[in-house]
Amino acid sequence: MRATLFMIALGAINNNSVIEEVYRRNRQKGKCKMDALGVCMHKILRIVYGMLKNNQPFDPAVDRRNRTRSMHKKNQKNIKNNTLRRYQEHDKHAPVSRRQDKKRKEQENVSRQCYRQARDHSTYSFLN
């Protein structure tokens, strides 16, 4: 099944504008060729599933409309997530388990190291 889907995706990249766009977009994001091809294989599976489920031929306009809608939902979710509790600062006086306390200290150390590296790099950047 996977080998067949692989060959279909190879052909679709050259002959189908929707799959070609998915491939190009993923390559521009920095994915290697095989990773982008895997995304195209997944896209083809979703297209085939939608065609079978709805008993309709593939319509690229529906695909674009669904993608726009999901991007809008994602943006709304990001706005909402910024107000969630998990993005709030930790209360240093709240009771936590030893394991959680250890994780928080490690995270603080990593953050400090990153800050120091950035600070040191910016201090000497005028020399270059």
Tens-digit pLDDT profile for residues 41-91: 999 999 999 999 999 998 889 888 888 888 777 777 666 665 555 556 767
Res. 118: pLDDT tops 60: yes
Quote the percentage of the chain above a pLDDT of 90: 45
Q: Which one has a higher pLDDT value, 127 or 37?
A: 37
Contacts for 23 with CB less than 8 Å, ≥ 6 apart: 13, 36, 37, 39, 40
pTM beyond 0.75, yes or no? no
Average pLDDT, the chain: 82
Domain layout of the chain by residue ranges: 2-63, 97-127
